[in-house]
Chain A
């Protein structure tokens, strides 16, 4: 990896890492006795390890000019593997949390293993660790291909990827120590947030610099979706995390907003995180990998543009549907509800566009599990957005809010859409990236597909059932006009569904682990062509007959 950097880049990397080490040291000193100090030490150790890595490769010969004849894919390869590792860890924690809900005693009386600390490790781990790394990795891949331009330099993609993962690690370890600013999906505290801003701006600039070098006159639509993801997430992240730390040596901060303004800012952020993190970027993935894998252009390019602007402009206004029946003014709620219902149109146009692209290639969908991952993703995307628009209607929300129906909706989107399209994109790109003919085992891809689908269906049905039962139990009155069921009654009714969900989660997790194994083995095994070539040549004494992969 260091050998791929020019001498200039190696020097810049050293400067950045030294600055980071000094910052970490300052944090560690200022934050003694506070988790802030622990994070400072962590940052310092990571930065110093980085310094040693760069130094160890510092005198390697510079990469030759011929590197410019190929795309720069090492960061993409790294990002894909890291995304899968995050997936396994974060889904393991997700399933742990699921078992905790069924058997609350499983916390073992430790603070770090309590539900409230593990849950954000799951949500951040899957959304940012798994989803974010997959988005960054595939975006590097797609922007280069669709622009027919190599990344402008070798250092900035590494800065983005490694810096982003440092943020994820600081976030997850912080939760376990009890560091949180109590905003869902924006739990990390101020210092982690500032670091993410720096990384994210670098990401945005890198994307624009690559596009500026493009050979294609028109910017392919997948890039629009990726760019919207990057730009809007920057905006959301900065505004929602405006906060004042209580001191320079403490992890704790207070939000700049208060009361209902704070709630509205948070859900403006939260819903657009769904829109631009969990939807827009993954639609970018879909619009590149699905046509490519199916060997057919997108059904309607125009529709992809129209739904892009529809999604971009409608989603912005929908966040208040998370705050129905609260202190938020009624008209703001109605505004959110209206835009949420309108959102169904561009959402279904996108899902329909994807499915129509496959129309005529159904035989491929039947035979190719990778394409099937993508097809199922499009179907679940359609389902989830329909469900979301429905749940946003105020009277419906009065039933669904606070119940497991919301959790069911979340995971129909998260497992059925986000994870499925990601697996599809990853399985498609791994053989392309490592120059293999196929995955190590197409059978295992098939196994993964069915495990993932079964897991998703079990999870979602369990939560739909439990959510609606819960909602109905909470609003059933007896003749004397009091509630017919106590809260504990509803908990008892949930128990079997929680077990079912956790079992569904085991399926899904197992599939993911198999996926990671399959990817690893694909990387490890020698490319078919090379091994055949090797077999064709006389074996030199002492030399291994087969070249090890990488």
Chain B
């Protein structure tokens, strides 16, 4: 196979490493982005306050 073991290991240790680091960073930034605080809080509370239990009709 052209894709031998050494190439795979090199790929996972370089690209794989940075890809996962970048991904973690994106997730953390998204979760802690100040502007996102409001929508998150709203979403967390909204499920508790749907007492009429009816869909929105528009």
Q: Which A residue sits closest to B39, measured CB to CB?
A: A218
Complex CA–CA separation, A308 to B35 (angstroms) = 20
Contact with B along A156-183 (1 / 0, CB 8 A): 0000000000000000000000000000
**B43 and A301 contact, CB distance less than 8 A:** yes
Task: Provide the residues of chain A in CB contact with B47, threshold 8 Å.
Answer: 145-146, 220, 288, 291-292, 297
Complex CA–CA separation, A309 to B43 (angstroms) = 18
Classify chain A: how many residues form its interface, as a range.
35 or more
**B23 and A313 contact, CB distance less than 8 A:** yes
Q: A148 at the A/B interface (Cβ < 8 Å)?
A: yes
**A305 and B23 contact, CB distance less than 8 A:** no
**A291 and B5 contact, CB distance less than 8 A:** no
Tell whether A297 pairs with B44 under 8 Å between CB atoms, given A218-B39, A306-B28, A313-B20.
yes
Task: Provide the residues of chain A in CB contact with B27, threshold 8 Å.
Answer: 305-306, 309-310
Tell whether A291 pairs with B48 under 8 Å between CB atoms, given A218-B42, A302-B32, A335-B12.
yes
Classify chain B: how many residues form its interface, as a range.
20 to 34
Q: A217 at the A/B interface (Cβ < 8 Å)?
A: yes
- Interface hits, B16-58 → A, CB 8 Å: 20, 23-24, 27-28, 30-32, 39-48, 50, 53-58
Chain B contact surface mostly: helix
Contact with B along A438-474 (1 / 0, CB 8 A): 0000000000000000000000000000000000000
Tell whether A309 pairs with B23 under 8 Å between CB atoms, given A69-B57, A217-B39.
yes
Which among B5, B39, B43, B55 is the interface contact of A71 at CB below 8 angstroms? B55
Task: Provide the residues of chain A in CB contact with B32, threshold 8 Å.
Answer: 302
**B56 and A149 contact, CB distance less than 8 A:** yes
**A331 and B56 contact, CB distance less than 8 A:** no
Task: Provide the residues of chain B in CB contact with A329, threshold 8 Å.
Answer: 5
Tell me the number of A-to-B contacts counted with CB atoms below 8 Å. Answer: 77
Q: B7 at the A/B interface (Cβ < 8 Å)?
A: no
Residue of A70, A149, A305 with most partner-chain B CB within 10 A? A305
**B48 and A297 contact, CB distance less than 8 A:** yes
CB of B42, distance to nearest CB on chain A (Å) = 7
Q: B9 at the A/B interface (Cβ < 8 Å)?
A: yes
**B55 and A216 contact, CB distance less than 8 A:** no
**B48 and A292 contact, CB distance less than 8 A:** yes
Complex CA–CA separation, A541 to B28 (angstroms) = 69
Which among A148, A150, A291, A295 is the interface contact of B50 at CB below 8 angstroms? A148
Q: A68 at the A/B interface (Cβ < 8 Å)?
A: yes
Q: Which residues of B contact A (CB under 8 A)?
A: 5, 9, 12, 20, 23-24, 27-28, 30-32, 39-48, 50, 53-58
Q: Which residues of A contact B (CB under 8 A)?
A: 68-71, 144-146, 148-150, 215-221, 288, 291-292, 295-298, 301-302, 305-306, 309-310, 313, 329, 331, 335, 432
Q: Can you pick out 20 interface pairs between chain A and chain B where the beta carbons lie within 8 Å of each other? A: A68-B55, A71-B54, A71-B55, A144-B55, A215-B58, A218-B43, A220-B43, A288-B47, A291-B44, A291-B48, A295-B48, A297-B47, A298-B44, A302-B40, A305-B31, A306-B28, A309-B23, A309-B24, A309-B27, A331-B9
